[in-house]
Every structure is written in structure tokens, then in C-alpha cells.
Amino acid sequence: MRIVRTVADLRAALAPVRGSGSVGLVPTMGALHDGHLELARQARADNDAVVLSIFVNPTQFNDPSDLAAYPRDEGKDVDLAASVGVDYVFAPEVTEVYPPGFSATVTLHGPIVEALEGAHRGVGHFQGVTTVVAKLFGMVSPDRAYFGQKDAQQVRVVQAMVADLNIPTQIVVVSTVREPDGLAMSSRNRRLSPFDRARAAHVAEALRAAELAAAGGISDAWSLLHSARKVLTDNAIDVEYLELVDADTFRPIPVLVTGPAVLAVAVVIGGTRLIDNVVLRQGSAS
């Protein structure tokens, strides 16, 4: 496995594969865990060459202290990437991605970027995501790119971007990988104190409560949200948002109907912001 720092080196490395074989890209911000590795395993199974990018993208952080505190451990990341068969770790410097004079942005509009994370982290968050993902797609020209359902809204935004801009990359969505107690794996989990780490399991428990309610035939949003919120408030967890939205439009929905819905949550536990979600369908959990 090779570590590549520049776009020129990456293109040269991938040139022999183009045309004859497929390239899979796993975009990450590093501090890899088994959720990221699951994306990489899937990419390995599907493609001839696998690129895992590590870039803590400054433009998608609304809070400078959050950016400063973001965990970084490239040495360990490289070992983990090698262990699942990644061919190239692409870890550019900030100036390689945003050289002096850089001025482009990729901006989507509407509820998929304005709801939930967009409302709480600011519209600049998804603008930062779409701009860097579009750039990574331009740098790597992947046949397939792998994203986690853990960031359900991000997946939807990236899907909309590739459709709107006719980017010929297939977006592959990988199920959320969880700890044994249900907590969705996240690079941020390592910031939790042991006490807060134990409390964080209630986030998944809250989603599970709504999932069970939906499986039991409850379909109105108020009741579903109430069953989840009760678990969170009983455990004194600060809720930033808890919403039931249409999985396609990300508009809030009052009742589950035939299409899938996303029950999405953001909480702050001991100063660490965590997000999670579950897909609900009328009369059944999925």
C-alpha cells in the first residue's frame, strides 16, 4: 500500500488501472474505525483499485474548536487501511486541496441541505462537503464511491450532487456499523469520557424504541418521536434535533406512509456532538 500526497502522483498511480479496471474511493476524515473499514472492505470487494482518502476538510466545520479537536492519527490509519487491502491512502495537505486563489464552491439548495445538519451546523456545512467531495471525485475519477448510512443526510446530498452534475460515479451506501451496545461507530466517540461513553448507548436505544414502535404499527410522527425522545430525556441527554423526515426529500413528515423515512438525531454528550439515524417504514423496521 502506498501513501500519496499529491493529485499528480495519485493520477499517475491510477493511470494503469483506467480503462481496464475499476477504481473505488472511500472518502474519510481519518481516525479510522470499523465503520470506515467496512466501507473499504466493500470497496475492495467491488473494485480493482481502492483509494482511501484522509482529509480533515476545514470548510465543512462550522466550529473552529471542533476542527482543532478532531482526532488525527495517520500512522494508525495507514496500518488499518493496509489491513483491509486498500491500495492507496490519499492524504493531501490542505494547500493541495485548496491552493492559494482557490475560489470554487459546489452549492445545492433545498431541504436536503437546509434541514437537520444544515439547520444546526449552518448551510456552509454541506457546501463544504459537496465542494470537497466534488473535488475528490475530480482528483480520483472513481467508478464507485462509498459512504456510510451513519451520515444519512450526507449520502442523500452526495447522491443529489452526482445526479445534478452528471458525475459518472456510482454512490454505494454501506449500513451503519455499531459497537456491541448499539452506539454508532464514530471518530468522535473517542472524545467521550467513560461515563459519557456509557450514556451514549442510549442514543441507539432511543432510535431502537422508535423502530420497535413503527414495527408495532405506530405511524404518526409525534408518537414515534415521543418514544425516542423519552429514552433520551430519561437519560438527561441534550437533544439538538430529533426529526422524522422523508428519506428522499428530507422534509419533515407527520406520518409514515409507504416510502422510507429517516428518524435522525443529533445530541451533545459531555461536549461531544453525536449523530445517528434509523430508516423506518410503515409497519416495519428496516
CB of 16 to ligand AMP, least distance (A): 27
**Identity of the residue, 246 or 276, whose beta carbon is nearer to ligand AMP in the bound complex:** 276
The pairing of strands 272-281 and 284-285 is antiparallel
Sign, CA dihedral 220-226-229-235, equals: negative
CB of 275 to ligand AMP, least distance (A): 10
CB of 259 to ligand AMP, least distance (A): 22
Residue pair 23/17 in contact (Cβ under 8 Å)? The answer is yes
Q: Which residues bind ligand AMP (CB under 6 A)?
A: 28-29, 35-36, 38-39, 147-148, 150-151, 174, 176-177, 184-187
Instruction: State the helix-helix crossing angle for 74-83 and 34-46, rounded to 10 degrees.
Output: 40
**Identity of the residue, 184 or 218, whose beta carbon is nearer to ligand AMP in the bound complex:** 184
**Identity of the residue, 79 or 234, whose beta carbon is nearer to ligand AMP in the bound complex:** 79
**Identity of the residue, 176 or 219, whose beta carbon is nearer to ligand AMP in the bound complex:** 176
Q: Which residue is nearest to ligand AMP (CB)?
A: 148
Is-catalytic flag, 202?
Answer: no
Q: Single out the residue of 170, 187, 186 nearest to residue 25, CA to CA.
A: 170
For the beta carbon of residue 68, count every other beta carbon within 10 angstroms: 8
For the beta carbon of residue 172, count every other beta carbon within 10 angstroms: 18
CB of 176 to ligand AMP, least distance (A): 4
Active site residues: 36
